[in-house]
Amino acid sequence: MLAAKVIAAAAIVVTASRATERAGPLLGSMIATLPVSAGPVYVFLALDHGAPFVSESARMSVAATAATAAFVGAHALAARHFATAASLALATLAWLAVAIALQLRAWSFAEACLLFAGVFLAAIRALRHYAIPVEAPPVPKARFDLALRALLVAAVVVATTFASHAFGPEVAGVLATYPVVFTCLVLILQPRCGGRFTASVLVNGLKGLLGFGLALAVLHLAAARASAAVALLAALAVAVGWNALLTLRARYRLKRAARPPH
């Protein structure tokens, strides 16, 4: 069963990655910030434990988005001074430190939402200088790109599966939100495009992750009142809807900027 979970999750990540490559930069970035790693993890948690467990895990995942913001912030600061390995190590340590600190408190849903909103709004504002577009050289496709993403999401699936049985929904909820996509972007982009460009990509991705946090909040509420399948579909609809709105907004701005002045 565990092997089937790993294979299924890896297949989803590879399919989403292929779609991202073919969709172009705008639509591709929106696909990349969909819950392509956390989604399969929550499906497996639902199959193993049911809706109440999913609801409790999602509540903790809402709070755990603060760890993802710490990952992005630490990388943005480190990437201008250090190489890829050191930048990723510092970002991962920042994620781990916040993830461990979150376990010291029993977060209510309201507190988790306030933490999520406060941390992301503060991060978007504080890191806005790192979000300035930086011209990047042409990026050749890395041979290990898809394999790396599949391996990372497989590791998250295995860790979350064991943690859900050994430690309960709180630890599983934190592990489910590990930034697989951002980790892959650092490993693939930074050696080729530099730290400034990679930091800009990650910081700009924070806006897309707001929809991910909203989807987790919906998952918590829906799983407490309905079946896990209904809750998962509702959360997916929120994530897709948020990114669709961001895509339409970006396209509107591009069209408006392309109009000749009167």
pLDDT tens figures, 71-117 = 999 999 999 899 999 999 999 999 999 999 998 888 999 999 999 99
184: containing domain? 2-134+142-258
Q: Please state the domain count of the chain.
A: 1
Distance CA 62, CA 109 (A): 8
Res. 252: pLDDT tops 90:
no
Give the distance, in angstroms, between the CA of residue 5 and the centroid of all CA atoms in the same chain.
19
- In this prediction, residue 181 has a pLDDT band, given cuts at 50, 70 and 90, of confident
> Tell me, what's the pLDDT at 113?
95
Q: Which of 176, 171, 168 is nearest to 216 (CA)?
A: 176
pLDDT > 90 fraction of the chain, expressed in percent and rounded = 38
The answer to which of 38-47, 189-198, 221-230 has the lowest mean pLDDT is 189-198
Mean pLDDT over the full length of the chain: 82
Distance CA 28, CA 21 (A): 7
Check if the beta carbon of residue 189 is closer than 8 Å to that of residue 25: no
Contacts of 253 (CB under 8 A, 6+ apart): none
Give the model confidence (pLDDT) of 141-151 as tens digits. Answer: 555 666 766 77
- Indicate the pTM of the whole model: 0.83
Check if the beta carbon of residue 203 is closer than 8 Å to that of residue 129: no
C-alpha distances (whole Å) from 172 to each of 70, 76, 141 are 19, 27, 33
Q: Which of 214, 154, 163 is nearest to 49 (CA)?
A: 163
